Amino acid sequence: MLARGWPLICLWQLGEAFVPVLIGLTIDRGIAPRDPVWFLLGCSLLAADIALLSYSYRFGARFSFRAMQVEAHELRVEVARHALHERGTESTLLPGETLSLATADTEMTSAMFRQLGYASSCLLAVVAIAAYLLSIDVWVAVVVLAGVPLVVACTQVLTPLVARRTEAQQEAVAGAAGLATDLVSGVRPLKGVGGEDVAVRRYRTASVRARDASVRMAGSWGLLNGLTTSLSGVLLAVVALLAGERALAGEISIGELVAIVGLAQFLAEPINGLGDLSAQAAQSYASAGRVARFLATPHDLATGPATPSRTTRLRLDGVTSGVLDTVDLATQDGLVTAVVTDDPGASDAVVALLEGRVVPEAGAVLLGEDELTATTIASRRTSLAVSPHDPAIFEGTVRTVIDPDLTAAPELVERALVATAADDVVGLHPDGLEREVLADGTTLSGGQRQRLSLARALLADPPILVLHDPTTAIDAVTEREVAHGLRSVRAVPGRATLLLTSSPALLDVADEVVVLRGGRVAARGRHADLLADPEYRTAVLQ
């Protein structure tokens, strides 16, 4: 597309440049000597030139714009593919920042295609005009050939300023967008803890920063445009003055004077285009750098070539990692195992290990007989699912939240809803399973989000299910229903469940509770038996 678009854009600029030349030719050959043949020929050539430049721009702009949009689309797909890669990404960007990256920055990066095509056509037009002026008057041509590079060089003084302010503005706007998205998704918790004022102040600060950065960027662009317009105006005035003197002296004809004045006026556009190119390129370069840095972020999950068969055996064998110290822990077929820690960091460390995001410093995390991080993602998913404390809820309906593929049998959906006490989320709403759910579950309460997320995990029915604090937002009565429902679904042959929780209701239905203190295994047993330990009792009943 660029191979067709750029030549047509160049042809458009040449056609624009030839308009005053053809007018001058018509004056000298047709009007001044009153020659009707030359007059009609000149008018015909002028009409043909206008038609040529019109269609050249029409199709050249179409091809160039399409190339730009195709490239922007490809970049968006690449950003989305990296963000949604099965191995995850270690990017620290907020969701709103990633969205800004995939929209505004990819558009600005692909705009380089249009900028280069336009700059090439401007340069070609300037060269063609200079060649024509050389054929008329050497001094006029020298002024143009020396003046245009001088004007462009002078405008480059402001380019670094524009580049710095543009990059700062893009980062500030992306930060404000990311914070806004983060605050909107967490509006319910904010209201629950009375944090609205703090959130408003944080967003106001980010918004003011983005506003000020945008004003500074606009100011630098204004300086650049003002300098370019002023210098090009001076150059055009000098060219017109010199041509007028030559015409009065009889050294050039009236038609040539008209052509030179017309070309001098036309030169303002390509000169401004060349002057703006570096600043526009700086914008595209800044956006391209942001996209490149995101795409260069490493993936989250460690993988290998091993492809274990389906299993219910997941084991931490003498694992040392972060706050964990030589921890032994294993799931068992048909049983529910719970882990209680005295440090939230220990639970997070166990989840990170089981997700494959962290390789242990010592010991091994085994899935079946293979090290977890040595297995492929696809084979890992056939046996293991890890549901984090705050799982994602996507926009859609209750049905698509718990059954994204819409492939589960109705009776299995009903069983998962009943087991998690989420059937009231469906039954108490007139739309039932078709109840609308907004992105991140903002139309649901915290307890409803957790119950639907748990229902989704149970409906997936993996051989090994790891749940991290799945009921922290659920009231005590409902939590006990959920605990018994979870056991009824998961405490069966061919299934193994690992709970990281301090909930008495969940601990009570576990077949074994493993207690971690100071990163080490301190005790094992049934919940009822462990209550005799004062430290354990304090930890789970507080």
SS3 per-residue string spanning 462-529: CCEEEEECCCCCCCHHHHHHHHHHHHHHHCCCCCEEEEECCCHHHHHCCCEEEEEECCEEEEEECHHH
- For residue 28, tell me if it sits in a domain: yes
Q: Are residues 93 and 159 in the same domain?
A: yes
Domain containing residue 529: CATH number: 3.40.50.300
pLDDT of residue 193: 59
Q: Are residues 261 and 332 in the same domain?
A: no
Q: Are residues 50 and 90 in the same domain?
A: yes
**How many domains is the chain partitioned into structurally?**
2
- For residue 385, tell me if it sits in a domain: yes
Residues 208, 209, 210, 216: is their CA dihedral positive or negative?
positive
pLDDT of residue 192: 56
pLDDT of residue 191: 59
Among the candidates 268, 295, 322, a domain finishes at 295
Alpha helices in 296-445 (DSSP H): 344-355, 377-383, 398-402, 410-419, 423-427
The pLDDT tens digits of the residues spanning 432-477 come to 889 888 877 777 888 889 999 999 999 999 999 999 999 988 888 9
Q: What angle do CA 281, 282, 284 make, to 5 degrees?
A: 65
Residue 8 pairs in a beta bridge with none
Contacting residues for 298 by C-beta, under 8 A, at least 6 apart: 89, 90
Q: Are residues 289 and 320 in the same domain?
A: no
Backbone angles phi and psi of 312, in degrees to 5: -110, 15
Q: Are residues 111 and 10 in the same domain?
A: yes
Q: Tell how far CA 8 is from the center of its chain.
A: 33
- Cα 244 to Cα 526: distance, rounded to the nearest angstrom: 103
Percent of the chain with pLDDT over 70: 92
- For residue 308, tell me if it sits in a domain: no
- Cα 127 to Cα 131: distance, rounded to the nearest angstrom: 6
Among the candidates 264, 295, 326, a domain finishes at 295
Task: Flag residues of the chain having pLDDT under 50.
Answer: none
pLDDT of residue 156: 66
Q: Are residues 232 and 377 in the same domain?
A: no
Q: Are residues 241 and 362 in the same domain?
A: no
Q: Are residues 264 and 377 in the same domain?
A: no
The pLDDT tens digits of the residues spanning 163-182 come to 677 767 777 777 777 677 66
Neighbours of 154 (CB within 10 A): 14
- For residue 150, tell me if it sits in a domain: yes
- Cα 195 to Cα 188: distance, rounded to the nearest angstrom: 10
- For residue 305, tell me if it sits in a domain: no
- Cα 192 to Cα 173: distance, rounded to the nearest angstrom: 28
Instruction: Domain of residue 524: give its range.
Output: 314-541
Q: Are residues 370 and 277 in the same domain?
A: no
Neighbours of 425 (CB within 10 A): 25
- For residue 445, tell me if it sits in a domain: yes
3-state secondary structure of 394: coil
- For residue 448, tell me if it sits in a domain: yes
Q: Are residues 285 and 331 in the same domain?
A: no
- For residue 300, tell me if it sits in a domain: no
Q: Are residues 495 and 370 in the same domain?
A: yes
3-state secondary structure of 386: strand
The pLDDT tens digits of the residues spanning 376-433 come to 988 898 999 999 888 888 888 989 999 988 889 999 999 999 999 998 888 888 888 8
pLDDT of residue 8: 87
Domain containing residue 260: CATH number: 1.20.1560.10
Interaxial angle between packed helices 106-136 and 2-26, expressed in degrees from 0 to 180 and rounded to the nearest 10: 30
Q: Are residues 288 and 329 in the same domain?
A: no
Among the candidates 239, 261, 295, a domain finishes at 295
